[in-house]
Amino acid sequence: MACVTPAIVELLPRQDKGEGRSKQGLRKSSIIGAPGYLDECAMDRLSTLISNFGVRAGVFHSGGMCGIASYGVDAHDGGHLHLLRSGEVALVTEDGVRQQIAEPSLIFFPRRNHHQLLSGEADRTELVCGSLSFDGGHNNPLVSALPDFLILPTKSLSTLELTLNWLFAEAFGQHCGRLAVMDRLFELLVIQLLRHVLEHRLVSFGMLAGLGDPRLARALNVIHNQPGEPWTVESLASTANMSRANFAAQFREVVGQSPADYLLDWRIGLAQKRLRDGQPIARVAEEVGYDSASALARAFRRKTGSSPRDWLRAQMHAVTTLPRPRVEIVPALPAQAA
C-alpha cells in the first residue's frame, strides 16, 4: 500500500467504527454512497459550483470604438468579458503580447488583467464590454481553474448563439431595462462559456480539467456536493473506481493538488461564502464537515493565516460594488510581437 503523507493523515483521518465524530474534528454521516447519487451528480458538473461561487456582471460599454481602451487598471477590478460583434481590434495583455482579432469573437478575462483593446475604425468596430465579479474573488475555484484569458471566435460557440443574438439585440437597441437585461445575459453567457470550456476540454490542468476526466469527475462531484462527509483518499478513490495509489497520483497530476489539499480548499471556500452570507460559525462548521467551531477555526487559520472572525472583519471593508468603468483613451502599453 502506498504511504500516506502526514498532511493526508491529518486532513483525511481514519474514522472510528460506528456513528460519531472523528478524532480530527470531521463530522461523520451515514449517507455516503446513497443509491443513484453518483450517477445523478455526474450528469451536472457545474451547478453546484455556480450556486456556491456565482458571477455578477455589469455591462459598461456597447457601441463603436475608436482609439485605445484600457481595462483592469484599478486594484479592485475583477474580470472582463468583451464581445466583438464586428470590425477588428488588437488586444494587448499585461505581459505586452499583442494579438490581432479580425472576426467576431468572445474575449474572456476571468480575473484582473491590465489589458488594452485598440481600434481605428469607429464606424466598423462594434463591442459590448462588461465587468465580472466572481464570488470569492481570486479564491473562487472557477477563477483559479481558468487560464489568464480566452479568445474564442463566436462561430465556434454554436450553443451560445441564441444568448449572443439576444444580447446584441439589447445592446444595440433602445429598450426599457436594457442594462439590467444585458447584465443578466452576461452572467448567463459566462455560465454557458464555462460549460463550453468543460465539454470541449479547453483547459488541460486544474479543477476544470479534473471535471473533464470521467473518473476524477465522480470524486470531485461528491466533494462539491457532499463537503460534510468524512472523505478519505480511499473513499474518494472508490467513487472514481480506481485504486488509492492510482487515484492520488492522477488527481495530483490533473488537478494540481492532492485530494486532501483540494478537499480542504473546497471546505474553507464554502465556509468563507457562508460566513459572508451571515451564517454563524457553528452552523457553518457543521455544514462543511467539522464537528465544532473551534475545529473549523483551526483549519481556517491553517489555510488562510487568520481566524474566521478576523477574516470576516477584513471582508467587511472590501469593495463590494461592481464597477462600471468608462472606456477612455489612454496611452498604449508597450507591445511586442506574439
pLDDT at 151 (0 to 100): 97
Final residue of a domain: which of 163, 181, 199? 199
Q: How confident is the model at residue 261 (pLDDT cuts 50, 70, 90)?
A: very high
Same domain, 125 and 256: no
Cα–Cα distance, 69 to 332 (Å, whole number): 9
Mean pLDDT of 13-31: 39
Whether 19 is in a domain gets the answer no
Same domain, 220 and 192: no
Cα–Cα distance, 184 to 182 (Å, whole number): 5
Whether 328 is in a domain gets the answer no
Same domain, 79 and 172: yes
Whether 23 is in a domain gets the answer no
Between the CA atoms of 30, 32, 36 and 40, what dihedral angle is there, to the nearest 10 degrees? 130
CB atoms within 10 A of CB 36: 7
Cell of 315: 471582508
Same domain, 126 and 173: yes
The CATH number linked to 257 is 1.10.10.60
Q: How confident is the model at residue 19 (pLDDT cuts 50, 70, 90)?
A: very low
Mean pLDDT of 252-259: 97
Same domain, 156 and 186: yes
Whether 7 is in a domain gets the answer no
Lowest-confidence segment of 17-26, 28-37, 151-160 by average pLDDT: 28-37
Same domain, 100 and 188: yes
Whether 77 is in a domain gets the answer yes
Final residue of a domain: which of 178, 199, 220? 199
pLDDT at 318 (0 to 100): 64
Same domain, 119 and 182: yes
Of 323, 320, 302, which Cα lies nearest the Cα of 79?
Answer: 323
Same domain, 70 and 150: yes
Q: How many separate domains does the chain show? A: 2
Domain that holds residue 272: 206-305
The CATH number linked to 107 is 2.60.120
Reported as a single tens digit per residue, the pLDDT across 129-185 is: 999 999 877 778 899 899 999 999 999 999 999 999 999 999 999 999 999 999 999
Whether 323 is in a domain gets the answer no
Same domain, 235 and 193: no
Q: Above 60 in pLDDT, residue 196? A: yes
Q: Above 80 in pLDDT, residue 3? A: no
Whether 47 is in a domain gets the answer no
Whether 39 is in a domain gets the answer no
Query: In which element (H, E) is residue 51 found?
Result: helix 47-52
Same domain, 85 and 178: yes
Spell out where the chain has E strands.
55-64, 67-71, 79-86, 89-92, 98-101, 105-109, 115-119, 126-134, 150-153
The answer to whether residues 224 and 38 touch, using CB atoms and an 8 Å cutoff, is no
Same domain, 194 and 267: no
Cell of 160: 451560445
Same domain, 88 and 216: no
